[in-house]
Amino acid sequence: MTRVEPVRRTDRLTPDEITAILDLADAAELADGVYPLSEDVVLRVRGARGVFFLAGDAGFATVDDGAGELVVHPSVRRRGVGTALLESAGDGPSSFWAHGDDPGARAFAEGLGFSRERVLWQMRRSLAEPLPPDRLPDGVTVRQFRPGHDEAAWLGVNARAFAHHPEQGRWTEHDLTLREQEPWFDPAGFLLAVDVADTLLGFHWTKVHPSTAVDPALGEIYVLGVDPGGHRRGLGRALSVAGLTHLKQQGLGTAMLYVDESNEAAVRLYRGLGFGVHATDVMYHRGA
């Protein structure tokens, strides 16, 4: 039975609490057709460390650097659980992600003084359709990531490529290591573009999502970046095609990616590769 209890703040989670949070997220996905938590939040939950707000098994929220996510069990919505979670997280400047551009989430956010601040698109394309031809710039080859060898170089290029990105650009060695330890991690799908001196110029890190109750198995353009200091014309597009080719060779039928609506250059690249908008995530912000 779903329990509606007073909200409790904690920075550690027990194994039972971890299970309850992930079960809550699964229930919300079945009801809404979209998973309510980002990968980063799931990793924090599994690691049992962070800033968490629990309303029994009825609701969950977490906050990191002023931005957070929350989910309420479908059976107890419209009973004030979401409001209680937000109030417990503080009434100062804050931002929360709503996965899926749901009218109910929008009404809930606006009713509490939040407004749309950022839009993240999930785009998809069929891998059954032919991929556009492309070639790497002269002097550039692609090889797979070598765990224990390429971390420092990758972190440097990632930081420069995403210097203005609020999440990706601040990745640390710990963030990378956590993902290398995930069961989905596959070095063969982590493609690095290098020059003749093996200097890293760009990368395309792919990810395979197993099938779920609402989706078939999906291949993802997980992170795609080109070092702005060593930019070679067309490298981003060529790396995109190389990664999509790899995913197609794994027998996957659909590719996906996430991109900020405001990133016009990236959106133009992905539309040119046959991607269309499939779903929308919205960040809502409330000032002081």
The per-residue pLDDT for range 102-119, each reduced to its tens digit, is 888 999 999 989 999 999
Report the distance separating Cα 246 and Cα 258, nearest Å. 18
Res 245: pLDDT: 97
Higher confidence at residue 282 or residue 104?
282
Res 229: pLDDT: 83
Report the distance separating Cα 36 and Cα 281, nearest Å. 10
**Residue 82: half-sphere exposure toward Cβ, Cα within 13 Å:** 23
Q: What is the side-by-side order of every strand in the sheet holding 190-194?
A: 8-12, 49-55, 59-64, 67-72, 94-99, 276-286, 115-126, 254-260, 218-226, 200-209, 190-194, 141-144
Residue 226 exposed, middle or buried by CB count within 10 Å (0-12, 13-18, 19+): buried
Report the distance separating Cα 127 and Cα 257, nearest Å. 13
In 7-164, alpha helices (H): 15-32, 39-47, 81-88, 103-111, 151-161
Instruction: Read off the pLDDT band of 285 (50, 70, 90).
Output: very high
**Residue 161: half-sphere exposure toward Cβ, Cα within 13 Å:** 23
The per-residue pLDDT for range 28-77, each reduced to its tens digit, is 999 998 999 999 999 999 998 889 999 999 999 998 877 889 999 999 99
Domains defined along the chain, listed by start: 8-91 (3.40.630.30), 129-252 (3.40.630.30)
Per the CB < 8 A criterion, the answer to whether 175 and 38 are in contact is no
Res 92: pLDDT: 63
Q: Per-residue pLDDT for 159 more than 90?
A: yes
Residue 139 per-residue DSSP state = T
Quick one: how far is CA 61 from the chain centroid? 17
3-state secondary structure at position 247: helix
Per the CB < 8 A criterion, the answer to whether 228 and 160 are in contact is yes
